[in-house]
Amino acid sequence: VAESTLRCRFQGGKNHHKGHEIQAHLDDEQEEVLIEYCKYQGLLAQPLSSLALRQHVYHLSGKQPSEEWVRHFFARHKEILMKTARGLDPKRAVAFSCKNEVVTRNIPPQNIFNFDEKGIQLGGGRKNIRSKYIFSAVDANRYVKKSDNLVLVTILECVLATGKLCPPGFVLPKGTVREWSHVDDVGGVATSENSWTDDKICVQWFREVFVPWAKRERDPTFPIVFISDGHGSHKTSSMRAVAVENDIMLISLPPHTTHRLQPLDVGVFAPIQHEW
């Protein structure tokens, strides 16, 4: 044994392994947790930078790690690495992370709901008159009278992945009915100045119509998944509060994709608009 080693131990020094344990910022279990957290943040498109990693280590250990510590950390754990990344729209990032959650937890169809809304004039459109009528063969002016009713009604609809329909909501011009009514077997009826839905109406329908119905239909061992187009009224603090209280995941579809990905838009409202 070298004289220097004996002198060091005699003076209270530690061997290399013990000395490393004292200098280490995290124990093995903490490092494993940190690795899993790094992987999870990467899946959410919110990966940690070197600085963020060091901040997390500091919060865990109370010791400020150096860049050299970070290099050794990656050398010890080949299952993670530091790479450049491409930009991703925040809404798309949320959609992808929620999709991972739905797939990973194997949430059943009876817990997955799609919500959309559509404004329609009661008098119908002025184009796409597809029905055929009888006219004189020599008459070039061929018209059919249409209603001049331009009153707008907004429909709030939700469908379950199994095909069942939730009681809808209807938004009418102000003054036609009370500001909010819950009609059995119909759903919610509300009013607004322009017949469009707003934050208040959306959360009323969500809380008083959707939530009770969804709870009757769902598998209670899984959360409810509520998929919408990401309109501002679909993700207010009030909506989020009701969702958290009732174990509901609010998922917004990526922007500029609803004409392809929104089931109600593609399968219901688009054909109605075409024929209307």
Catalogue all structural domains in the chain, each as residue range(s) with its CATH number.
Answer: 3-76 (no CATH), 90-136+145-275 (3.30.420.10)
The answer, yes or no, to whether residue 227 has pLDDT greater than 50, is: yes
The answer, yes or no, to whether residue 12 has pLDDT greater than 50, is: yes
Cα–Cα distance, 104 to 113 (Å, whole number): 18
DSSP state, residue 192: E
CA end-to-end span of the chain, whole Å? 94
Q: For 17-39, what is each residue's pLDDT tens digit?
A: 444 444 578 888 888 888 888 88
Which band of pLDDT confidence, cut at 50, 70 and 90, is reported for residue 212?
A: very high
The answer, yes or no, to whether residue 247 has pLDDT greater than 50, is: yes
DSSP state, residue 49: P
Residues 90-102 have a mean pLDDT of: 60
The answer, yes or no, to whether residue 203 has pLDDT greater than 50, is: yes
Give the strand pairing for 248-252 and 224-228.
parallel
Q: For 102-124, what is each residue's pLDDT tens digit?
A: 666 788 999 998 888 777 666 55
The answer, yes or no, to whether residue 135 has pLDDT greater than 60, is: yes
Cα–Cα distance, 148 to 131 (Å, whole number): 19
Q: For 49-89, what is each residue's pLDDT tens digit?
A: 999 899 888 888 888 898 999 999 999 999 999 988 877 66
pLDDT of residue 27: 87
